[in-house]
Chains A and B, each alone.
Chain A
Amino acid sequence: MAKSRAKVKPKSKAKPAPEGGKLSKEFKVGLLRRMMEIRAFEDKVFELLARNVLQGASHVYAGQEAVAVGACSAIGKRDYITSTHRGHGHCLAMGADLKLMMAELCGKATGYCKGRGGSMHIADVSSRNLGATGIVGGNIPVGTGAALAVQMQKTGGVVLCFFGDGASNEGVFHESLNMAGKWKLPVVYICENNLYGMSVALERACAVADIAARASAYAMPGACVDGQRVLEVRDAVLEAIERARKGDGPTLIEAKTYRYRGHSRSDPRVYRTKEEEAYWHERDPITLFKEDLLRDGTLTPKAFEKLQAEVDKALADAEKFAIEESPWPDPAEVMDDVYAGWVEGERGLVRTETKG
């Protein structure tokens, strides 16, 4: 059991929010709302999976909302993210539409990926989300390459590359951070340490206690932040982005967080204790931020109730859209989009366009 690990307090040395006091009321309520939408979305996904309305596998993000929302709130229109198999939160934090996301998870034609990717491969390329991946660590090189592109294009853009604690033990993590460190690529590696790679506690699998410590091997700063505090994540990412935009290269941020659900729907969570789960529920990222906003007068209890009602309504609309209103993909389109500019003909691929 990873009980001792559960009590590890993030060793954050994050300074007071550089702009904490300056954020508008609307902005802060917007952050809370996005976190609430992710939670509601994930709770709904879990329910639909349990009822077998939803097919396939979904790895839900509930408990980790502050990481995606805090980090993605720090970037702009010239920036990219890469996501993971637990990627719904990243997608929503980048502004994805609940309806189109739910439709994608349901495998419907109206989904972001026309039902081809589903939960584990969701991407909203138009919002500069370069997508989730079913391979643990699979997008760390891709995010690194995206950073190489923006560096070569001199757009001033940065890339947020999300991955989990488990991925930091994959070889691609080390190859990528080495390349980014050497070439000073504008990328922020955000490790969401939720303490388990499926069932194996990090302390049983990983030679170091803090993944952020691995940054020192690749000539970049590494920082642990409290992944349950949305503004703390945001501030750490802002600092890393500033560094990246100045040409000073990458940063590794380790956000200590927790996934409330099992790895997937079939996971009975025998590898962790109720006490550990209770500890993390007490540090719920939405509750913590909501209390902050109530305390500083940004939010009233009544306004929160209204917000919750709006989120619930948006989720109900998304569910209705995905399940009742959206068509299945046309089976005749199963071979579409395998290649760019080529389609499968009777005896092989044929070109669909002539290029100059």
Chain B
Amino acid sequence: MPVIMYREAVRDALAEEMRRDERVFVMGEDVAIYGGAYSATQGLYEEFGEARVRDTAISEAVIAGAATGAAMCGMRPVAEIMYVDFMTLAMDQFVNQAGKNRYMFGGKTTVPMVLRTEGGAGRCIAAHHSQSLEAWFVHAPGVFVVMPSTPYDAKGLLKTCIRDDNPILFIEHKMLYNTKGEVPTEEYLIPLGEAAVRREGKDVTIVSYSRMALRAEEAGKALAEEGIEAEVIDLRCLRPLDMDRVLESVKKTGRLVLASEAYKNANFVCEIIARVQEHAFDDLDAPIERVCAADCPVPMSPVLEDEAIPRADKIVAAAKRTLGKA
């Protein structure tokens, strides 16, 4: 199977869907001639031309809003917001217009659009370019949130998102663009709302997503060396959410650790904690642990950034605490 980079997987998904469906088009800041701030749209402008690969002004609100209007009128836009931190500028359009129009109009419209963005820390570019803001969007009814961690998932999920009829925030991770993975040459789709079990185990469940899913896997390996068998789950989608997979695992292990790169306070994983206690309270053998970013704006200095963002060793420590081995 060919090995390609995450950013190439994103690009290939876009190109394949644009070839398949002429309603699909791409717009955003620096997506055309430049090929995307993280090179995820490289070559699209050359293949599809300026009508379907559109460089926009630095105007996040109208990027998201124009995608909404175009989607309501029969197009399938994939718009790019360069950093998830800039979603603050597009928030009303995505959350209030795109996300709510279908319901508020009695189900008589659809808004098939994807907002691609990227988030996360790791480049020492501080809190206007390094945050993980997914919780804000999962809180809003009407929109989906998808956060792939591998090239395989990035391609298969993005293709599915483009074909889905809902407004979707597709959050890539800046530190993953150059990571490599196996991606088949033949077409495939990954259904939304299906988590992936990265490692099977019986002692403790570790649930994560995006880049933290890779650190959770690292933690799983480290724990195995100490004789602890962790089951590592990558959610891939935060909404729709594969709660069944999480509950199944918790029922088996009785212990749960959640790892997220977002701020700890009101982190999305708190929702999972609530649902686990609703559906599997009696299966728990230990308090649930969460490993999240420090509740300070993501700092620039590499030393501080490394301290603020969860590392694999912190996930390992949390898993051990659930087993009384701290």
Interface positions of A (Cβ within 8 A of B):
80, 82, 111-117, 121, 123, 125-126, 130-131, 133-135, 138-150, 152-153, 171-172, 175-176, 178-179, 182, 336-342, 347-351, 355
Alpha-carbon distance A293/B214, docked complex (angstroms): 75
Q: Which residue of A lies closest to B64 (CB)?
A: A141
Are B69 and A338 interface neighbours, CB within 8 A?
Answer: no
Interface residues of B (CB under 8 A from A): 25, 51, 56-57, 59, 61-62, 64-75, 77, 92-93, 96-97, 100-112, 141-142, 144, 163-166, 191, 193, 239-244, 247, 275, 279
**Residues A138 and B96 in contact in the complex (CB < 8 Å), given A176-B62, A347-B275:** yes
Q: Decide if A139 touches B97 in the complex (CB within 8 Å).
A: yes
Contact of B59 among A130, A147, A175, A340 (CB under 8 A): A175
Instruction: Determine the distance from Cα of A100 to Cα of B11 in the docked complex, in whole angstroms.
Output: 46
**Residues of B close to A338: CB separation below 8 A:** 102-103, 141-142
Among the listed B65, B164, B239, which residue makes an inter-chain contact with A140, where contact means beta carbons less than 8 Å apart? B65
Across-interface contacts of B166 in A (CB, < 8 A): 339-342
Across chains A and B, the number of contacting residue pairs, with CB separation under 8 Å, is 177
Q: Contact at A123–B105, with CB atoms within 8 Å? A: yes
Do the beta carbons of A80 and B102 come within 8 Å of each other? Answer: no
Q: Are B97 and A347 in contact (CB under 8 A)?
A: no
Cβ-defined contact, A114 with B61, below 8 A: no
Query: CB < 8 Å: which of A116, A142, A171 contacts B103?
Result: A116
Interface residue from A138, A149, A342, A347 paired with B74 (Cβ < 8 Å): A149
Q: Which of B106, B164, B241 lies in contact with A341, CB distance below 8 A?
A: B164
Bound CA span A111–B64, Å:
29
Dominant secondary structure of chain A at its interface with chain B:
mixed
The answer to whether B57 touches A337 (Cβ under 8 A) is no
Please name the residue on chain B nearest to A143 by beta carbon.
B69
Give me 30 A-to-B residue pairs in the complex whose CB atoms sit less than 8 angstroms apart, sorted by A's number: A113-B105, A114-B107, A116-B105, A125-B72, A131-B105, A135-B96, A135-B97, A141-B61, A141-B62, A142-B97, A144-B65, A145-B66, A145-B68, A145-B69, A145-B72, A145-B73, A145-B77, A149-B69, A149-B72, A149-B73, A149-B74, A149-B75, A153-B74, A153-B75, A176-B66, A338-B141, A339-B102, A340-B165, A348-B241, A348-B244
Q: Nearest residue in A to B163 (C-beta to C-beta)?
A: A355
Chain B residues with CB under 8 Å of A126's CB are 108
Cα(A11)–Cα(B245), bound, Å: 66
Known contacts A114-B106, A138-B92, A144-B69; A347 and B243 CB within 8 A of each other: yes
Tell me which of A142, A176, A182, A348 contacts B72 (CB under 8 A): A142
- CA gap between A281 and B69 in the complex, in Å: 36
Residues of the A chain whose Cβ atoms lie less than 8 Å from the Cβ of B163:
355
Chain B residues near A130 (CB-CB < 8 A): 69, 72-73, 109
Q: Which residues of B contact A340 (CB under 8 A)?
A: 102, 110-112, 164-166
| A115 / chain B contacts, CB cutoff of 8 Å | 106
